[in-house]
């Protein structure tokens, strides 16, 4: 307890002492990484964000553009770091680079595993070179489908090592193994945090996570989709609480982790769906049930004893308050995107990528995945008539050569708020 009190004092003092020090944040354009970036900027660091923008978006960082202490490096951590990074001396490193939602990591499973292994290895090499603390974001998914509840750091986990989630679950477990081998063999100051379900502003609308799904669906009057019976349980922490936990752990002089950081309040998925629906007045959304996702864990709740005793950390933002803040930000972002949607042009010949403009039901109806490109099958031809009838998408049919010219004209004349999606023909179309 005395150390935790001292840590509070040191962290408060550091807010004014950190000018001139550098921090590297991998994955810093993502949901959580951008909040870490905000904290580091507030504390006076020179901040270097490294991100390949697979799930990160520059919009999350636009409020730092023009600040001489902010630097962005477009790079994939799987590969050796560029000289723009390796020539510098860093005082802290946060490693958050990795797709963290099933939708995204299952879409690129090999990349996910290599990010967890090669990416973490490159980060640890950088921490060794700089002799600085490195916080590595692990996950509660290392516990798999837990054999007991709540989960404590000494649990070894119950993971399907060959399933569709294994690229992430086993990738993160391998990343943890690398951390502790670097610590034992080279004395690297690792700080491993196991993150439990986290939500808040800047979550991607299409990341497939429980709260982002439910909030977007309720705000857009779409059906709220619960996978399975809704009896599975989760705990949900607000992003600000998690970032505070990060900060306390990376400043601890000796604690390597792993340390659970999560909110121990447990909710069934169905109860959370009902709560979010009730918080959106007038929504026309109904709760519907879909088949359960494969290998989805039945329970997820942290034992926070270690975080409490070692870091003096507890979550402080009640779920209802966190949801309110999240909904306000989502509403603002949806309104902004809806304005842009009036100026969206989608051309399809013969197939398309409209995944950013249509819902999951539309994609499923025509057997499309996100980012689809290919020749249209006979049972997909109804896409064109349906797109033509939509009010939120301007669809102009035509040959690929003609539409290439059209899109060039639109791009040259479009207002800055415009969103233009264009996919030309592939296959034997010589003009495409």
Residue 106 pLDDT greater than 50, yes or no: yes
The set of catalytic residues is 168
Tens digit of pLDDT for each residue in 31-59?
A: 999 999 999 999 999 999 999 999 999 99
- Percentage, residues of the chain above pLDDT 70: 77
Residue 350 pLDDT greater than 50, yes or no: no
Residue 369 pLDDT greater than 90, yes or no: no
| pLDDT for position 409 | 57
Pick the range with the lowest mean pLDDT from 73-82, 278-287, 378-387. Answer: 378-387
| pLDDT for position 246 | 98
Structure-model confidence comparison of residues 394 and 294, the more confident one: 294
- Assign 228 a pLDDT band (cuts: 50, 70, 90): very high
| pLDDT for position 426 | 44
- Assign 429 a pLDDT band (cuts: 50, 70, 90): very low
Residue 176 pLDDT greater than 80, yes or no: yes
- Assign 379 a pLDDT band (cuts: 50, 70, 90): confident
- Cα separation of 111 and 79, whole Å? 11
| pLDDT for position 212 | 95
| pLDDT for position 363 | 73
| pLDDT for position 377 | 67
Most confident listed range (62-66, 117-121, 227-231) = 117-121
Mean pLDDT of the chain: 85
| pLDDT for position 411 | 59
Dihedral sign computed on CA atoms, order 84, 51, 234, 202: positive
Tens digit of pLDDT for each residue in 125-147?
A: 999 999 999 999 999 999 999 99
Residue 161 pLDDT greater than 80, yes or no: yes
| pLDDT for position 314 | 97
Tens digit of pLDDT for each residue in 185-218?
A: 999 999 999 999 999 999 998 888 999 999 999 9
- Assign 294 a pLDDT band (cuts: 50, 70, 90): confident
Residue 249 pLDDT greater than 60, yes or no: yes
pLDDT (mean) for 339-360: 50
Structure-model confidence comparison of residues 298 and 206, the more confident one: 298
Structure-model confidence comparison of residues 3 and 315, the more confident one: 315
| pLDDT for position 22 | 98
| pLDDT for position 384 | 65
- Assign 360 a pLDDT band (cuts: 50, 70, 90): confident
pLDDT (mean) for 105-113: 93
Burial class from Cβ neighbours inside 10 Å (0-12, 13-18, 19+) for residue 277 reads middle
Tokens of 239: 């992003």
| pLDDT for position 381 | 67
- Percentage, residues of the chain above pLDDT 90: 68
| pLDDT for position 192 | 98
| pLDDT for position 267 | 96
Residue 338 pLDDT greater than 90, yes or no: no
- Assign 13 a pLDDT band (cuts: 50, 70, 90): very low
């Amino acid at each position: 307890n005395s150390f935790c009190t001292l840590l509070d004092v040191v962290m408060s003092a550091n807010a004014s002492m950190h000018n001139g020090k550098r921090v590297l944040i991998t994955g810093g354009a993502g949901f959580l990484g951008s909040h870490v970036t905000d904290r580091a900027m507030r504390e006076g660091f020179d901040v270097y964000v490294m991100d390949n923008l697979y799930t990160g978006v520059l919009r999350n960082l636009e409020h730092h553009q023009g600040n001489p202490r902010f630097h962005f490096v477009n790079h994939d951590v799987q590969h050796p770091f560029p000289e723009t990074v390796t020539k510098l001396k860093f005082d802290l490193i946060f490693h958050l680079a990795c797709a963290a939602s099933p939708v995204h990591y299952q879409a690129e499973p090999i990349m996910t595993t290599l990010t967890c292994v090669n990416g973490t290895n490159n980060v640890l090499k950088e921490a060794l070179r700089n002799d600085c603390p490195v916080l590595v974001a692990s996950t509660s998914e290392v516990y798999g489908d837990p054999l007991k509840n709540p989960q404590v750091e000494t649990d070894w986990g119950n993971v399907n090592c060959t399933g569709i989630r294994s690229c992430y679950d086993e990738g993160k477990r391998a990343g943890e193994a690398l951390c502790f081998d670097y610590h034992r063999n080279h004395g690297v100051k690792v700080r491993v945090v196991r993150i439990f379900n986290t939500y808040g502003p800047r979550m991607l609308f299409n990341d497939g996570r429980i709260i982002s799904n439910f909030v977007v669906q309720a705000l857009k009057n779409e059906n709220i989709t619960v996978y399975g019976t809704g009896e599975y349980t989760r705990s949900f922490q607000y992003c600000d609480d998690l970032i505070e936990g990060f900060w306390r752990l990376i400043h601890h002089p000796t604690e390597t982790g792993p340390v659970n950081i999560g909110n121990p309040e447990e909710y069934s998925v169905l109860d959370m769906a009902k709560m979010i629906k009730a918080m959106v007045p007038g929504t026309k959304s109904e709760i519907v049930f879909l088949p359960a996702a494969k290998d989805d864990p039945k329970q997820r709740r942290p034992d926070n004893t270690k975080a409490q005793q070692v870091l003096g950390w507890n979550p402080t933002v009640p779920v209802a308050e966190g949801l309110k803040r999240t909904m306000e930000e989502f509403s603002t972002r949806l309104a902004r995107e809806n304005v842009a949607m009036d100026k969206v042009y989608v051309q399809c010949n013969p197939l398309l990528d409209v995944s950013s403009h249509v819902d999951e039901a539309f994609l499923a109806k025509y057997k499309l995945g996100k980012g689809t490109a290919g020749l249209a099958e006979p049972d997909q031809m109804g896409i064109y008539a349906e797109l033509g009838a939509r009010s939120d998408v301007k669809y102009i049919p035509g040959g690929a050569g003609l539409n290439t010219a059209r899109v060039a004209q639109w791009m040259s004349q479009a207002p800055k708020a415009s969103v233009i999606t264009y996919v030309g023909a592939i296959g034997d179309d010589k003009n495409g």
